[in-house]
Amino acid sequence: MKDKKIILAGGSGFIGQFLAKYFGGDNEIIVLTRQSGATHKNLYTEKLLTEKDGIQIRYVKWDGQRTEENWQKEIDGADLMINLAGKSVNCRYHKKQRHEILESRIGATRAIGEAIRSINSPPKVWINVASSTIYKDSHDRPNDEFTGIISDGRRDNMSYNLIDQLRYNKNKLLARLFHGKNSNEYKQLDLDFSVQVCKQWEKTFFEQQTPLTRKIALRTAITLGAGGVITPYFNLCKFGLGGKHGTGRQMFSWVHIDDVARMIDWLFNNEICDGIYNCVAPDVVSNSSFMKTLRHVVPNSSFMKTLRQVTGHRFGLNAPAFLLEAGAFIIGTETVLML
């Protein structure tokens, strides 16, 4: 892809900044961001890219919810719109956080759709970077775009530990006492929040009427690369805590950031491509196998190096379910995000 105008909505995070660097040498990059400029830091990006990094890039402010002239005019004449916008799921799923996670994705998608409909020269392609979390937790066969099972039932998805189950039973009891068995509050507890978000997000995306713009929902797995979500795993292994999480049998779907960029390039250049595509490496592994591989590639701390030299073994202490729950509470995230 060369000499194109690419819009990265929500492009200040790990994936967005990588795509800006990957495409920015030969294309014009415009990042739509809620921040005031390139001085912003976030959880996954210490320093945002600028033209000093040898790429063609500009940052334009938006709120991710409303169509405004300052950013709407930027997408007029663009070749590719990539939507990465949405509040990070790396948090505890309280009521306020749940609302923000869902609305940030739906609101941004609607705003982009409205903007595309109102301009003279809409983007040729609009890629919404969605999530492979939408599929049912599976141990016996892969979920593809055609036969993959989608269920928002809580019990059909990621396994829950004893503490999760106790918390669920407590919430069910309280909802039944205060709202009744037929209430929405009671029924919602049996649904998987992450899958609900994915379904509503994609529904909103495909509802947008953009006849001149080819639309693709890219169901992306956990994306690995320098920085990003791999950093906490590296730190665990570095200090001898890189054992399996929970049972270790849960499957770990992943994709490398290089392949995400190459797939976006391929989808843009192939005009027959539209609809839903999975962006996942074919060799899905168990959590136990993934952590074992990391232990062999991550350099140990000085203490762990000495211990390995004395014993002849690479250590990786396991993290049973109750420790995962405690750790998730301490660092302010959900247990399923650590599995």
In this structure, are residues 158 and 112 in contact, taking their beta carbons and an 8 Å threshold? Answer: no
Q: Where are the alpha helices (DSSP H) in 223-301?
A: 230-238, 257-269, 287-297
Give the Å distances, CA to CA, from 278 to 86, 193, 204, 216: 19, 20, 18, 10
Tell me the one-letter amino acid at 319.
A
Which helix or strand (DSSP H or E) is residue 21 part of? Answer: helix 14-24
Give the Å distances, CA to CA, from 59 to 22, 28, 37, 55, 327: 17, 11, 6, 13, 36
Q: Please provide residue 255's backbone torsions phi and psi, each rounded to the nearest 5 degrees.
A: -155, 145
SS3 34: coil
The tokens describing 263, both together, are 């797939």
In this structure, are residues 245 and 338 in contact, taking their beta carbons and an 8 Å threshold? Answer: yes
SS3 116: helix
pLDDT for the residue numbered 161: 59
pLDDT for the residue numbered 301: 45
The tokens describing 234, both together, are 């590296």
The tokens describing 174, both together, are 């309280």
Query: How far is the C-alpha of 197 from the C-alpha of 134, rounded, in Å?
Result: 8
pLDDT for the residue numbered 122: 97
Query: How far is the C-alpha of 51 from the C-alpha of 196, rounded, in Å?
Result: 39
Query: Cβ atoms within 10 A of the Cβ of 239, count?
Result: 15
Which among 326, 334, 40, 43 has a CA at the least distance from the CA of 197?
334
| pTM, rounded to two decimals | 0.83
Query: How far is the C-alpha of 194 from the C-alpha of 178, rounded, in Å?
Result: 25
pLDDT for the residue numbered 228: 77
Determine the length of the chain: 339
Q: Which residues pair with 128 in a beta bridge?
A: 83, 217
Query: How far is the C-alpha of 91 from the C-alpha of 253, rounded, in Å?
Result: 21
The strand pair at 5-9 and 80-83 is best described as parallel
Query: How far is the C-alpha of 14 from the C-alpha of 46, rounded, in Å?
Result: 10
The tokens describing 225, both together, are 């690369």
Query: How far is the C-alpha of 267 from the C-alpha of 277, rounded, in Å?
Result: 9
In this structure, are residues 189 and 171 in contact, taking their beta carbons and an 8 Å threshold? Answer: yes
- Tens-digit pLDDT string for the chain (339 aa): 899 999 999 999 999 999 999 999 999 999 999 875 555 555 566 689 999 999 999 999 999 888 888 999 999 999 999 999 988 776 667 788 888 898 999 999 999 999 999 999 999 999 999 988 888 877 777 888 888 888 877 777 665 556 667 777 888 888 888 888 888 877 777 778 888 999 999 999 999 999 999 999 999 999 998 877 777 777 767 666 667 666 777 778 899 999 999 999 999 999 999 999 999 998 888 778 887 888 777 765 443 444 344 344 444 444 455 445 544 444 444 455 444
Which helix or strand (DSSP H or E) is residue 217 part of? Answer: strand 214-220
pLDDT for the residue numbered 208: 96
Which among 82, 106, 335 has a CA at the least distance from the CA of 198?
106
pLDDT for the residue numbered 274: 96
